[in-house]
Amino acid sequence: MEIRALTKEDIAGCASLLIKSYNQPPWRYNWVPEKAEQYLLEYFDSKQFVGFTLFDGGQMAAAIFAHTKTWWTADQLYIDELFVPTDRQRSGYGRALLEHMSKWGKEHGYPTVFLMTNKFMPSFKFYNKNEFSHAEHFIFMFKQV
C-alpha cells in the first residue's frame, strides 16, 4: 500500500473510483465520467486543495480530497470526499487515508479535521469508529430554488 499526493493526472482514475464507490448501494448515485471528472477538478483547482491517492499492487484503490480553511481560532482542514470502491472496502484503505490526512494536517498547522457525512449511511459509523465526533450543535441546511 502506497499513499501519494494527488496530481491532475490522477483525476480520471479518481473519477472512475468515485463512480465505482457512489453508483453502488447504499448511495445509488448516477455519476457519469464527465461529471465526476468535472466535480473532482473543481476541488483540485482550488488554491487550498489537499488530496492523496492510495495505491495497492500498483493500482489506484482509493482517494481523499480536502481543502484548508482559515478560521479565527486555528486554521482547519476539511475533507470533501473520501471514496473506496465497494469491492475494496474493509481493506483498511479508508482508515489509512484518514490517518495520512490527519498526519498531514498536524504537520502543516491544521489541528482540526472536519467532514460532513450522511448519518443514515454506513460512512457515519466508519467515521465514528475512526475517532471523528458528531457535532450535535451544527446542522446542515439547504434551500431548493
Kind of pairing between the strands at 2-5 and 49-56: antiparallel
Where residue 53 falls among pLDDT bands split at 50, 70, 90?
very high
Count of other CB atoms within 10 angstroms of residue 120: 8
pLDDT digits (tens, 9 = 90+) for 7-33: 999 999 999 999 999 998 888 999 999
pLDDT digits (tens, 9 = 90+) for 67-118: 999 989 889 999 899 998 888 878 889 899 999 999 999 999 998 888 666 6
Number of residues written out for the chain = 145
Q: Which fold is adopted by the domain 2-129? A: Aminopeptidase (3.40.630)
Min mean pLDDT across 34-38, 45-49, 79-83 is at 79-83
Q: Which DSSP state fits 133?
A: P
CA atoms of 132 and 145, how far apart (whole Å): 32
Residues 35-44 have a mean pLDDT of 97
Taking CA 40 as the corner, what is the angle to CA 38 and CA 42, rounded to the nearest 5 degrees? 70
- What is the separation of C-alpha 21 from the centre of its chain, rounded to a whole number of angstroms? 12
Indicate the burial class of 67 (C-beta count within 10 angstroms; 0-12, 13-18, 19 or more): middle
Q: Is the pTM of this model over 0.85?
A: yes
